Amino acid sequence: MAIQNWQASFVLWIGLCLRFLVVLYPRAAASFIVPPLNLPRRCQNKHFAETYETEDGKELDSLLGELKSAFVYEGRMDGSPNEGYRCGFVVVLGAPNMGKSTLMNALLQEDLCIATARPQTTRHAILGILSAPECQVCLVDTPGVIEDPAYRLQEGMMEAVLGAFRDADVMLVVTDLFSTPISDDQLFAKVQKSNKPVIVAINKVDLASAVNPGAEGNEGKTVTVEDAVARWRQLLPNAIAILPVTASGGIGDSGVQALRLILTGGPGIPSAIRNLGRPVPGMFPTDVQLITDEEAKQILPLSPPLYDQGLLTDRTDRFIASELIRSSLFETLKKELPYCCEVRVQQFKEATEEDKLIRIWADILVERDSQKVIVIGKNGDQVKKSWDCCA
């Protein structure tokens, strides 16, 4: 027993000595614990102020290059992009039914996010990756901002918004011709006080010609592009750009084209802005007439790409399938559909040479048994309509 106590005391003493050695003499401790490599040192390395040269004359950079080539495989990300490469997260914020998902699809030129006429169709923060030769834009679509969530689903949606806001490098605020604000005053105050770059997209400007300024309910709202730009320049004076867009027009819309070029750093941003037509006062900060390609490149932070160049999203095929089914339910059932329904994919079988179809088994969840009749319909007709819409 005495011998065991002596051994424990000795081990404890050795541990304390090593701790003091690491604190006071870290280089000596490293040499003591891990024997140094037999590589003569030369203080020329731009990253660590020292490089190493082996006995046969090969420098460390050459050895690292050989090591990297040994791990090349299909789909592997390049960890050493061109100098000056930029990558960052752009969170898409706005009130419900502003066309955030439609705008994100237009920027990606892909139908990634479901978009319907119903407010708050989006329930999750969905990543969409826009890769360019010199940058990677990680767009994050978010649910519409709600000031006072009424139930747990809306609380979860707002948590997704706040999480995306915290992680964002750039904020893309989406509003409409009527200058509908972000309803959560605390979140909007954070946007106003943030030092992060902000871009405002005024969506649905194609409705300007059809709006009656004197109609009931339009009092105090902006009904022209000029008024909307002026209102948002007052709300966000430091916004990099306030652009009128029509997201439903896709990439063919001149506003969407200009926004995409600004996010990716060009080329041809001044020309794209001139294609918007007559300049609107307030589109850019005071004393700024246009954004150059070089200025736009500074919006995203310097960073290697975070995702593979060919990747569109980090969401799974199962998730995309469940969203498509839910979208079709919204479109076919419209107001009859209980808002708190959910779709869960149970099986997902990819197409094969023998079977060319993708086969999906999914459950549609509702709150009450009485709501099943609405979703199923007589003899299952409603489910068939929803599936035909989805297909």
Which has the minimum average pLDDT: 43-52, 120-129, 268-277? Answer: 43-52
Question: Would you call 48 exposed, middle or buried from its count of C-beta atoms within 10 A (0-12, 13-18, 19+)?
Answer: exposed
pLDDT in tens, 179-214: 888 988 899 999 999 999 999 999 999 988 877 676
Q: Higher confidence at residue 218 or residue 333?
A: 333
Encode pLDDT of 36-75 as tens digits. 444 344 334 444 444 445 555 556 677 777 777 776 666 5
Q: Cα–Cα distance between 262 and 191 in angstroms, integer? A: 20
User: Percent of the chain beyond pLDDT 70?
Assistant: 77
pTM above 0.75, yes or no: yes
**Per-residue confidence (pLDDT) for residue 29, from 0 to 100:** 46
Dump pLDDT digits (tens) for 334-385. 766 767 788 999 999 988 888 888 899 999 998 888 888 888 888 777 777 7
Q: For residue 23, which amino acid is it?
A: V
